[in-house]
């Protein structure tokens, strides 16, 4: 009897060894589980009732950066993650993605509520929910608290501006794509006029709205990049200029660019201050995120609704954020400095309509802007008169 028990024990041991060996062979034969966009629950009190999704690429190191992505109306987390091109660079340069998702229960079009004060105030609503997602990533993914960024499209871009304004202590930089200035609207009615034709405020007025979002804050402010299509009829191009005015004022730099550059797909780049604010204008582009499908390092995304085949904004934003660790070349050609004043400036006083007709200015969203300096001149018609001074080839400023 003892002999049988011993034999059974030896057989069981041998069988277990075979099973373990087979498992080891199988483990070697099968590839590692690929990273996927995954829903996260229990990330905080979530007063804005948002869903959290996250992507952690394989091999994500400790203290890696993280980027918050905010989708536009009628979109969701998965679609924005898939089509924007951010996964490509997260895999390449190893950083985490945090992708909040709005629900139709909060907004019938699944827009983030960028125009509701209860969702755009520090410590409240959707803004707090997004901040709690960042806190979760810092605690559970080991994300570097000094390298947290945010980017969004349309309503998501307006919410990106909300996060930069209300949590300057959380975000190092952000991107506003086809978006709006912070507190451009405070209810659903004013949201429509904010989007088109836009709201005109002075840089100081716009800046005060951001400063009041976290009263008394004296720490560093995030750098900001703005993208806008010149043919956007949903969020009028005027909003790009107003956003530029807001963030340059907050960061204490001039509204006159320190350098400009021409990029592919009819894209112009204006740089303000010591690269504190960037403004990209994509000529002829409508309302959407600029993408450029392809396999080259500076190509990304999928061309579909609200992802427009022009230039890869994600690549340039990733470099602006410093996510490549300094391993990639500059995404832009050498920028040309703003023209210096000539010895004998040319001054012209005329109606804004005449200035535009003569090529000294251009019009966008019903307003006239000085060519080169992009200074706002007022309404584009024959009743508004402005004096412009030429300070260089195709470069005009207000006053003489």
The helix (run of H) or strand (run of E) holding residue 89 is: helix 86-93
Q: Where are the beta strands (DSSP E) in the chain?
A: 38-40, 51-55, 66-70, 96-101, 148-153, 173-177, 223-229, 259-263, 267-272, 277-282, 289-291, 307-309, 336-337, 346-351, 361-364, 367-370, 376-379, 385-392, 395-398
- Gap between the Cα atoms of 156 and 282, Å rounded: 19
By CB atoms closer than 10 A (0-12, 13-18, 19+), residue 145 is: middle
Can you read off the two tokens belonging to residue 211?
């400063």
- List the helix and strand counts (H, then E) for the chain: 10, 19
CB–CB of 165/181 below 8 Å? no
Distance CA 187, CA 203 (A): 22
In Å, how far from its chain's centre is CA 133?
17
Give the C-alpha separation, 206 to 210, whole Å: 7
Buried-exposed string 223-234: b where 16+ CB fall within 10 A, e elsewhere: bbbbbbbbebeb
Helix (H) or strand (E) holding 79, with range, is: helix 77-83
User: Of these residues, 129, 151, 154, 243, which one is catalytic?
Assistant: 154
Closest CA to 313 of 328, 299, 302: 299
Least Cα distance to 48 among 136, 99, 107 occurs for 107
Say how far apart CA 147 and CA 78 lie, in whole Å.
23
154 is annotated as an active-site residue: yes
**With contact defined as beta carbons under 8 Å apart, do 297 and 373 qualify?**
no
For residue 101, give the DSSP letter.
E
Residue 325 tokens, joined: 């660790």
Measured from the Cβ of residue 190, the count of other Cβ atoms closer than 10 Å reads 13
Supply the residues annotated as catalytic. 154
């Amino acid at each position: 009897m003892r002999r049988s028990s011993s034999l059974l024990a030896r057989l069981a041991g041998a069988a277990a060894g075979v099973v373990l060996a087979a498992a080891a062979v199988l483990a070697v034969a099968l590839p590692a589980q690929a990273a996927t966009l995954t829903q996260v629950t229990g990330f905080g009190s979530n007063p804005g009732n948002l869903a959290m999704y996250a992507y952690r690429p394989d091999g994500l190191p400790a203290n890696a950066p993280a980027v918050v992505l905010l989708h536009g109306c009628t979109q969701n987390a998965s679609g924005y993650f898939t089509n924007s091109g951010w996964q490509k660079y997260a895999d390449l340069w190893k950083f985490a993605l945090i992708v909040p998702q709005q629900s139709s229960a909060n907004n019938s079009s699944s827009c983030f509520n960028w125009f509701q004060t209860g969702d755009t105030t520090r410590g409240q609503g959707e803004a707090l929910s997004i901040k709690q997602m960042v806190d979760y990533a810092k605690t559970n993914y080991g994300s570097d608290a000094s390298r947290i960024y945010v980017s969004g499209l349309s309503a998501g871009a307006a919410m990106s501006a909300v996060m930069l304004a209300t949590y300057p202590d959380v975000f190092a930089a952000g991107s506003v794509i086809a978006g709006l200035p912070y507190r451009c609207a405070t209810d659903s009615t004013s949201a429509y006029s904010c989007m088109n034709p836009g709201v005109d405020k002075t840089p100081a007025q716009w800046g005060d709205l951001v400063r009041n979002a976290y009263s008394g804050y004296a720490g560093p402010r995030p750098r900001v990049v703005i993208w806008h299509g010149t043919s956007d009829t949903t969020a009028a191009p005027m909003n790009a200029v107003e956003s530029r005015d807001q963030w340059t004022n907050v960061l204490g730099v001039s509204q006159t660019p320190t350098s400009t550059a021409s990029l592919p797909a009819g894209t112009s780049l204006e740089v303000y201050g010591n690269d504190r604010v960037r403004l990209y204008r994509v000529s002829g582009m409508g309302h959407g995120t600029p993408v450029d499908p392809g396999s080259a390092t500076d190509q990304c995304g999928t061309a579909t609704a609200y992802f427009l085949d022009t230039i890869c904004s994600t690549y340039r934003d990733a470099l602006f954020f410093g996510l490549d660790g300094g391993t990639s070349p500059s995404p832009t050609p050498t920028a040309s400095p703003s023209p210096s004043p000539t010895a004998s400036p040319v001054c012209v006083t005329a109606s804004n309509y005449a200035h535009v007709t003569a090529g000294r200015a251009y019009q966008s969203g019903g307003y006239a802007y000085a060519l080169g300096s992009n200074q706002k001149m007022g309404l584009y018609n024959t009743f508004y008169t402005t004096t412009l001074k030429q300070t260089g080839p195709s470069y005009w400023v207000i006053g003489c």
